Amino acid sequence: MKKAIILSAFAILSLALSYFFETAPAEPATPAQPGTLPVVTPYALKTTTYVPDAWAEHWADEEADEPHEEYYIKKLGLKFRNPAYRNLVEAASKWIGTPYRFGSSSKRGTDCSGFVTSVYREVYGINLSRSSRSMFQDVARIKKDSVRTGDLVFFRRSAKGPIFHVGIYLKNNKFIHSATSNGVRVSSLSEPYYRNYYFAAGRVN
């Protein structure tokens, strides 16, 4: 009898307490919105904005395009994929070894702007200005990390000095140009000389 009374008292107490406390129903998981990644914690389901890799488009050149069969340009020592650049890189490679000759633009001898204007005329039918300084006015300036095959790279010796050299960007930081010491050759923008004097890149529209 005493046990029954105690159990009844507990039942009444539990009923009374239920009026003072509520258990909130669990909220349904909110589906992640496009561009977000779910992050599960022991306490709740949250979402965080997905930020694309900032380096994914670094040095955007022909490798960023849809995959194509590679073709190798032996004289340049480089492989390319985008067929749209094939005429350009093949035409430019035929100038390798041409001696430097100021004021000229033939395969008997050429200066830097003569080489660039000859290649662009042959491949695209575009007549660029004859000097590297005036050629810079023919292009749309682009950021260095957006340069791609066929863009032009310009150099100057000081912040206020004139542009004195120009070349055609290939890929992997390499460009082709006519140097006073070695004629038409492939060089790297990472070489100390060209790294120090690099000024800007431009795209012919």
Active-site residues, by number, are 112, 165, 177
**How far apart, in whole angstroms, are the C-alpha atoms of residue 39 and residue 15?**
39
Rounded Cα distance, 16 and 21, in Å? 10
H-type helices in 26-185, by residue range? 86-93, 112-124, 132-135
How many whole angstroms separate alpha carbon 31 and alpha carbon 199? 49
Q: What single-letter amino acid sits at 73?
A: I
From CA 196, how far away is CA 205, in angstroms rounded? 27
As a whole number of angstroms, the distance between CA 147 and CA 155 comes to: 15
d(CA 193, CA 164): 13
Neighbour-count burial for 25-49, b at 16+ CB within 10 Å, e otherwise: eeeeeeeeeeeeeeeeeeeeeeeee
